[in-house]
Amino acid sequence: MNLADDYQRLADRLTAAGVDVDTVKARLKAQHIETPSWGYGNSGTRFKVFPWPGAARNIHEKLADAGYIHRLTGVAPSVAIHIPWDKVDDWHGLAQFAAEKGVSIGAVNPNVFQDEQYKLGSICHPAAAVREEAIAHLVECCEIMQRTGSGLLSLWFADGTNYAGQDSLRRRKQHLEAALAAVYAHLPPAGRMLIEYKFFEPAFYHTDLADWGMAYATALKLGDRAQVLVDTGHHAQGTNIAHIVAFLLDEGRLGGFHFNARKYADDDLIVGSTNPFELFEIFVELVSAGAAADEVAYMIDQSHNIEPKLEAMLLSVLNCQTACARALIVNYPRLAQRQAEGDVLGAHAVLMEAFDTDVRPLLRQVRTEMGRHPDPLAAYRADDYAARVAQERGTAAAGGGGFPGKQK
């Protein structure tokens, strides 16, 4: 197999179809996929966490692993952190350590769903004292943003009820809006607040932020720096996520993504593993939006329970690259023409042509030009990093309940 010839054949075909290959390569080189600290440690479902040899035991090991993934891919330069799981005494020192590993601190994620006092909710809790404690933690995370150079406060709430009549739904909405307004005032000057939603779990009668519309309406009340975060696993079966993305992009309120894959509920599987066409559809909307998508944050949010931590994270980044590459080679002028003509199947065929294209030669060329191995997965499997950290760190004890780790 001649990699250069494979790339040249693809480049020639794309050029003949009107695709500016150099622009596509530049866009792929500029891609930024943020990986989550919790994805490098032992995490899992609420039923059982299976420990993995070498899984990161603290934030410094998580940053080291994230730096390794970035060295392999070249497009994962930042790491989302979760507080208090990743809490340290010296935030400036942590930011310096991250830089030494070749990454930076990304989104700060508060945790107001794990402690006992949050059984009935956090910022929507019926007790004012609990709401105030939750707000104080969110404000603390704004301060951590300032100290680490983070520009994103990523908010998800487990708040909701299990039974009709358990609490006043309108009053809980009012508590939520008041709390977020108080936190919004503490954002760093250039910081953004990303509001995530989830239609069920762990609350089963109602969730206080149940869908993108509720998150959007809340963001509108807060200000321009409040936006919606779309978690690809947080929707009912059959939901058209690309439609949600298009709407929020057009409104200027799409703040970012938590990429993962699901088959039934919030499965937190490797992104692109269950429905790669859906991921492609999402990237088509992002690419076609042009400058409107410039500020969107692309973050992975997964819980690797039975998979090797590093390899699972690597595959997620690579799958995002693949989906983006396919979206970038869509012939958008031809697509627009066929849409204007009402050519239903012709327009669909334009998308399918890009989706069915083997973009691996293009991605190998891009990585080579970036000074990376053309096949990061092969490089990972040939390397001794995973075996080395497994020997150094051992296997940490883990049990049921999903913690330490995540169930979100």
On the question of pLDDT at 267 being above 80, the answer is yes
**Which whole number is the average pLDDT over 226-248?**
97
Phi-psi region of 181 (alpha: psi -120 to 50; beta: other; left: phi over 0): alpha
pLDDT in tens, 82-130: 999 999 999 999 999 999 999 999 999 999 999 999 999 999 999 999 9
pLDDT tens string 73-93: 999 999 999 999 999 999 999
Structure tokens at 263: 């088959």
Residue 210: DSSP 8-state: -
Residue 404's pLDDT band, with cuts at 50, 70 and 90, is very low
Kindly report the average pLDDT of the chain as a whole number: 95
How far is 305 from 161, CA to CA, in rounded Å? Answer: 28
Confidence of residue 305 (pLDDT cuts 50, 70, 90): confident
Mean pLDDT across the stretch 205-218? 98
User: Confidence band (pLDDT; 50, 70, 90) for 408?
Assistant: very low
Tokens of 47: 């039923």
The pLDDT of residue 1 is 60
Q: In the prediction, which pLDDT does 303 show?
A: 86
How large is the average pLDDT for residues 30-42?
96
Q: Which segments within 6-64 are labelled E, that is strand?
A: 35-36
pLDDT at 47: 75
**Which amino acid, 180?**
L
- One-character DSSP codes across 135-172: HHHHHHHHHHHHHHT--EEEE----EESSTTSS-HHHH
Judge whether residue 401 has pLDDT over 80: no
- Write the pLDDT tens digit of every residue in 307-321: 999 999 999 999 999
Please list, in sequence order, all residues whose beta carbon lies within 8 angstroms of the beta carbon of residue 157, skipping any fewer than 6 positions away. Answer: 112, 113, 121, 122, 123, 124, 176, 196, 208, 209
E-only strand ranges, 158-234: 160-161, 192-196, 206-207, 226-231
264-291: average pLDDT: 96
pLDDT tens for 137-195 read 999 999 999 999 999 999 999 999 999 999 999 999 999 999 999 999 999 999 999 99
Structure pTM?
0.95
Is 279 strand, coil or helix? Answer: helix
Topology classification of domain 30-330: TIM Barrel (3.20.20)
What residues does each domain of the chain span? 30-330
